[in-house]
Amino acid sequence: MKKTGRIILTFMLLSIPLFASLSWADLLKEQKEVEEHLMCMCKDKCGKVLESCICKYSDQYRMDIAMKLKEGLTKDMVIKTYVDRYGEKALSAPTKKGFNLTAWITPFFAIMIGGVGIRRLVSRWVSTRKDEKRENISEEKDVLKNSKYSQLLEKELNEFD
């Protein structure tokens, strides 16, 4: 911890003149964005995004990123150096191209399919109910038609005719 503190302090003291000539806020913002895109690749496999990690190794990664940004590398270039060093697992989320795109679209695609399925199912159930209602009404009509009063009426109408 003492060594880390010294390193941080030394870095900060040496960097003051340089940072004074750059936008400090912009650099910090860029640094944060890079850290959000990367995982902490420490030996303990803490599994945290670098931006949230507080393990002792994460400080070293942060200083490395700060140095690279200070040297003039863009965010994407800094991220690429880590991907080149550690592979795609250094990224905190899959890229949105190639096979990795399936990671992103599959859940929404599944929900969409489910939604269409529910829509069709409910429509079928509603039409089943409507058919049943129509059948019930038609049966009621038949019942009425075949009731003794209907028959009597028909008989008298026939006699009248």
Partner 1 sequence: MTTIGQFSLLIAFALSLYIIIAYWIAAKSDDERLRASCENSVYALTGLIILSSVALFYAFVTHDFSISYVAHYSNRDLSLFYTLSAFWAGQKGSLLLWSIVLSFFCSIVSIQNRHKNRELIPYVMIVLHVILGFFIFLMNFSTNPFEKSFETPLDGSGLNPMLQNPAMMFHPPTLFLGYVGFSVPFAFAMAALITGKLSDVWIRTTRRWTILSWFFLGMGNLLGAQWAYVELGWGGYWAWDPVENASFMPWLVGTAYLHSVMIQEKKDMLKVWNMSLILLTFSLTIFGTFITRSGLIQSVHAFGETTLGYYFLGFLFATIAFSTYFIIKRLPLLKSKNELDSFVSRESSFLFNNLLFVGIAFATFWGTLFPIISQAVRGIKITVGPPFYNQVNVPIGLALLFLMGLCPLISWRKATLANLKKNFILPFSIAATAGAALYPSIGKGHLMAWLTFTFSIFVLLTIVVEFYRGTKARSETTGETPLTSFFTLIARNKRRYGGHIIHIGIVLMYIGIAGSSSYVTEVQQTVKKGDSISIKDYTLTYQGLTEAQPNPSQISVIANLNVEKNGKLVWQAHPQRDFYPVTRQQPSSEVDIRSTLKEDLYVILAAYDDTDNLATFKILINPLAKWLWIGGVILGFGTIICMWPDMREKQRMMSKYSTDKTFVKQEVSV
Site for partner 1, rule CB under 8 A: 1-2, 4-6, 8-9, 12, 36-37, 39, 44-49, 52-54, 59, 87-94, 99-100, 103-104, 106-108, 110-111, 114-115, 118, 121-123, 125-126, 128-129, 132
User: Do residues 40 and 65 touch, judged by C-beta distance below 8 A?
Assistant: no
Q: Could you write out the three-class secondary structure of 119-161? A: HHHHHHHHHHHHHHHHHHHHHHHHHHHHCHHHHHHHHHHHHHC
Strands (E), 14-93: none
Q: How far is the CB of 127 from partner 1 (least distance, A)?
A: 9
User: Do residues 14 and 6 touch, judged by C-beta distance below 8 A?
Assistant: no
Per-state percent for the chain, helix, strand, coil, to nearest 5: 80, 0, 20
Pick the closer one to partner 1 by CB: 23 or 123: 123
Q: How far is the CB of 121 from partner 1 (least distance, A)?
A: 8
Pick the closer one to partner 1 by CB: 4 or 150: 4
Q: How far is the CB of 20 from partner 1 (least distance, A)?
A: 17
Pick the closer one to partner 1 by CB: 17 or 107: 107
Q: How far is the CB of 27 from partner 1 (least distance, A)?
A: 13
Q: At what angle do helices 148-160 and 101-146 cross, to 10 degrees?
A: 50
Q: How far is the CB of 112 from partner 1 (least distance, A)?
A: 10
Pick the closer one to partner 1 by CB: 23 or 128: 128
CA atoms of 2 and 73, how far apart (whole Å)? 30
